Amino acid sequence: KAGVTQTPRYLIKTRGQQVTLSCSPISGHRSVSWYQQTPGQGLQFLFEYFSETQRNKGNFPGRFSGRQFSNSRSEMNVSTLELGDSALYLCASSGGNRRVQQYFGPGTRLTVT
């Protein structure tokens, strides 16, 4: 099976712009979670989608949003980018009823200038 894929791998944006990141889960997995990784804050949970519904949400402002499509692919969007949004954004997918084990993609490195 192919692993979790994320596109693009690298992205440079300027303050005020918006960005959309994409994640394709492992085939058969219906849950997708997003995490932000920064040197200062470490790894922080953004949100989880399961069967096109947001199931959990972390403590991030409303500028961060996401969605999931019927084929389980997910996108996250960040509007009005700030310098502090520069981070590695990781997507993880999981399967099964309790969705315990998560498989991570390589991440999208976002730089905001």
The residue ranges that bind another protein (CB under 8 A) are 4, 31, 33, 35, 42-45, 48, 50, 55-56, 58, 90, 92, 94, 98-107
* Smallest separation (angstroms) from another protein to the CB of 33: 6
* Smallest separation (angstroms) from another protein to the CB of 112: 19
Nearer to another protein by Cβ, of 9 and 15: the residue is: 9
* Smallest separation (angstroms) from another protein to the CB of 56: 5
User: What is the residue-wise DSSP string for 57-105?
Assistant: E-S--TTEEEEE-TTS-EEEEE-S--GGG-EEEEEEEE-SSS--S-EE-
Report which of 30, 9, 31 is spatially closest to residue 90, judged by C-alpha positions. 9
